[in-house]
Structure 1
Amino acid sequence: MQNSQKPFMITRNLDPENQETPIHFINEDLIGGKLFYRRNHFSYPNFVSTFYWLPVGGVVHYPKTFSLKEILGLPPRTIKTVLECAGNKRGFFKPKVFGDQWKKGAISQGSWKGVSLRTLLEYTGIAETAREVIVEGYDFGERTDSNQIHYFSRSLAIDKALHPDTIIAYEYNGEPIPFKHGFPLRLIVPEWYAMASVKWIKKIIVIDYEFKGPFQAVDYVYYPKKDSDEGKFPVTTMGINSTIQQPLDRKILNTGVHILSGIAWTGNGLVTKVEVSVDGGINWSSAQLVNVPERYSCVRWSYKWEVLKTGEYTIMSRAADSAGDEQPKGAMWNRKGYGYNAIDVVRVKVE
């Protein structure tokens, strides 16, 4: 009899809805919309998409408001990319930090189709003084640190905004983007943590100054010190990282042969290798990369482990990329708990 059980989302918060992908049970390259992790700062927005228009203004030569039909008629671009919440694995920081205690599932991968942001800006032109491009979403609410209402807004430096793979997406895995993931239009910024990929785009503004919105200047900033802002710097590119999907942590196994498996990803180049240790980091062996590394995408890996002795074992994985970065033994602690990318660890018992 076929097993009809299916994985389900792991809830971290209900309002706003924040749920993890059941990453340990996902074997597909593309994750469907129902199992794509959900990260929200506010309740879902209310707007009528039937009359959707996208204004592009600011320090541009020809301000323009695009209809959805116009955008759908522009030359398309499709990008397969992993999106990772900057708070992914926050729950593993020591000492603990405040915020949703994400484990390993605030990460998903899919295929996004849309139009390059660059294409829209070519229609409007940009002034020579332009420094950044603000993308504002329809989601808004009151921040606890200021008791003020804010829309979720982020900016990109001009060079990142004009990269051809920075796209305004309208399809996910060949279908319209699900509402909970940004329908009808979502910004997709490959290589960066997903806070940059603004959902439910409301407007685009080109500016000639540094954007200081709270989701840019307060949140999504690394604060290395607990009691001061000294040494702070912005959260941008994803760090080299890996996750052990199987076996699960604290699982009981029999002696014999087991296939260890997982994923690895980076925001800087390509994953070049994944290594596995089954003795707590004393010895390391190369895992097999199941698929050819692609820019922006996860690599699946596996390792054949034959265990003959009973006892407790610490299994670890670490990845390296073409930029020369390797997963560190310990993640860089920071006050808001962003960018955790320490060597992954699970512990099992063999009986």
Structure 2
Amino acid sequence: MPNPPAPDRRSLLKLLAAGSAVSALGGLATAAPAYAGTSAGHPARPLAAPGTAGVLAAPGIVKPLPTEYFTVRGTNAEARFDAFGDTGTITPNDRFFVRDHTSTPVLDAADWRLTLWGDGLHGRHPVHFTYGQLRALPSVTRTALIECAGNGRSLYTTQQGEPATGTAWTLGAVGAARWRGVRLSDVLRRAGIARDAVDLLPRGLDDPYVSGGVDYGRVRRPLPVAKAFDDVILAYEMNGEPLPYDHGYPVRLVVPSWVGIASIKWLGDIEVSTRPLTSPWSTDWYRLFGAAHPAGGSAPISRQTLKSGYQLPFGATLEAGRVHRLTGRAWSALAPVRSVEVSTDGGAHWRRAHLHDAPRRDGWVRWSVPWRPDHTGPVTLLSRTTDLAGNAQPDRAVHNTQGYLFNAVVRHPVTVV
């Protein structure tokens, strides 16, 4: 008996949307100041109600957000960069920033499945993987940064006097973790990817994103097959534990060195196509618009850029006449860090900082420098990264209206008393 004809793309999209709604989503939890322990392969669940002293509440975020570690920005939680000093090179799960377009869905791995579909598969029939089937495949562990494309966005305005729309991140929309999961390439091969497939469209299971009265659907963004076969994984563990709800449980993409939007959380399905694909996250957003860019915007952004910063609150007060150990972090998505230079006089003089970690791909390095200020008054501290490919932080970032890829030297004000 011949196989039934494969559904067209529009019909399959409707079918997937309907199936996801009834079988995968589950209920939503609110922010909470405490967790129960991890058990049975599930991340810890919230115990108490929000509003406890010292704990912030954010719409739709599950994990506790202590004020000493986070700043709430709408539906997002920015990690306090100045609080990273005791975290080592790996960001603990409870300190990792949260970027949500809507709300964190609390899903059940027993009901979850990943669907691959599209004309880029042999036979063009959907292929499904359960959570158990995915975990039974050979696993890999990768240490990699995840950084929001808009990290540093507020500095376009505060440093350069150039406005930018979007969440006003400072430097804390970044974190590094050990991710364990399955190579996306292995899953694509098992699903029967065709040789002429060129693009993937991974899509999350969070609620559809609605802005200005327009429903843009669930978060999804094209990913070239070439990148997928390079180093992308389907992660189900973060720092040795099941993914926390806010970070993509039960399964997320991890796309090393690319902007965070590429690492789709709460992964539900992946379209595999023989043609280039688009979504609002590659046409309306995550492109560069503005006077310095083409009239229709740049190509969709992919790689992140390079940054450095002091692990010190902006506006901190330091005592004159004593030695202070200034610490910070530096990273580049373009190549391993080569050096960090610092200035304690607004850029008049520079000297090398001591690097405490071996530079590596997709990671950051901690650095330090001693400083003994002799005079009181306001001081601007600077730091700049140079990587092994010769990329260096400029004095000014090239502006774009949505505030992506800020890479300029950060002007860090302190007061000496």
TM-score scaled by structure 2? 0.78
Q: Is the 8 A contact 1:224 1:232 kept in 2?
A: no
Are positions 1:18 and 2:70 aligned together? no
> Per the alignment, do residues 153 and 11 of structure 1 end up closer, same or farther by CA in structure 2, a change over 3 Å counting?
same
Distance in 2, Cα, partners of 1:6 & 1:47: 27
Q: Is the 8 A contact 2:163 2:401 kept in 1?
A: no
Q: Is the 8 A contact 1:258 1:306 kept in 2?
A: yes
Deviation at 1:152, TM superposition (A): 0.6
RMSD: 1.8
Distance in 1, Cα, partners of 2:402 & 2:291: 10
Q: Is the 8 A contact 1:226 1:335 kept in 2?
A: no
Instruction: State the AA in 1 paired with 2:181.
Output: G
Q: Is the 8 A contact 2:141 2:179 kept in 1?
A: yes
Structure 2 gap segments, 5+ residues each:
1-65
Instruction: State the AA in 2 paired with 1:73.
Output: A
Q: Aligned match of 1:131 in 198, 207, 214?
A: 198
1:90 corresponds in structure 2 to 153
Q: How does 1:270-349 map to 2 (within 5 A)?
A: 270-349=336-415
Q: How does 1:159-174 map to 2 (within 5 A)?
A: 159-163=226-230, 165-174=231-240
Identify the structure with the greater strand proportion. 1
Q: How does 1:26-175 map to 2 (within 5 A)?
A: 26=84, 27-28=86-87, 29-45=89-105, 47-58=107-118, 59-61=120-122, 63-93=126-156, 94-145=161-212, 147-163=214-230, 165-175=231-241
Distance in 2, Cα, partners of 1:194 & 1:142: 17
Structure 1 gap segments, 5+ residues each:
none
Q: How does 1:207-246 map to 2 (within 5 A)?
A: 207-225=273-291, 229-246=295-312
Deviation at 1:260, TM superposition (A): 1.1
Distance in 1, Cα, partners of 2:209 & 2:129: 29
Deviation at 1:228, TM superposition (A): 7.8
Deviation at 1:149, TM superposition (A): 4.2
2:34 corresponds in structure 1 to none
1:257 corresponds in structure 2 to 323
Distance in 2, Cα, partners of 1:6 & 1:101: 17
Distance in 2, Cα, partners of 1:312 & 1:142: 44
Deviation at 1:328, TM superposition (A): 0.8
Q: Is the 8 A contact 1:223 1:233 kept in 2?
A: no
Distance in 2, Cα, partners of 1:6 & 1:30: 20
Distance in 2, Cα, partners of 1:206 & 1:340: 32
| Most deviating of 182-191 and 80-89 | 80-89
Structure showing greater radius of gyration is 2
Moved over 6 A (4+): none
Q: Is the 8 A contact 1:167 1:187 kept in 2?
A: yes
Q: Is the 8 A contact 1:140 1:149 kept in 2?
A: no
Q: Is the 8 A contact 2:292 2:399 kept in 1?
A: no
| Most deviating of 149-158 and 53-62 | 53-62
Deviation at 1:307, TM superposition (A): 1.8
Q: Aligned match of 2:244 in 157, 166, 178?
A: 178
Instruction: State the AA in 1 paired with 2:82.
Output: H
Is the partner of 2:188 in helix, strand or coil?
helix
Q: Is the 8 A contact 1:118 1:161 kept in 2?
A: yes
Distance in 2, Cα, partners of 1:228 & 1:166: 30
Distance in 2, Cα, partners of 1:123 & 1:146: 40
Is the partner of 1:103 in helix, strand or coil?
coil
Deviation at 1:333, TM superposition (A): 0.5
Distance in 1, Cα, partners of 2:205 & 2:295: 30
Q: Is the 8 A contact 1:327 1:343 kept in 2?
A: yes
Identity of aligned residues (%): 33
2:264 corresponds in structure 1 to 198
For each residue in 1:119-139, what CA deviation from the matched residue of structure 2 results, as whole angstroms up to 9, or x when unmatched? 001112322321111111111
TM-score scaled by structure 1? 0.93
For each residue in 1:154-175, what CA deviation from the matched residue of structure 2 results, as whole angstroms up to 9, or x when unmatched? 1211110111x21000000000
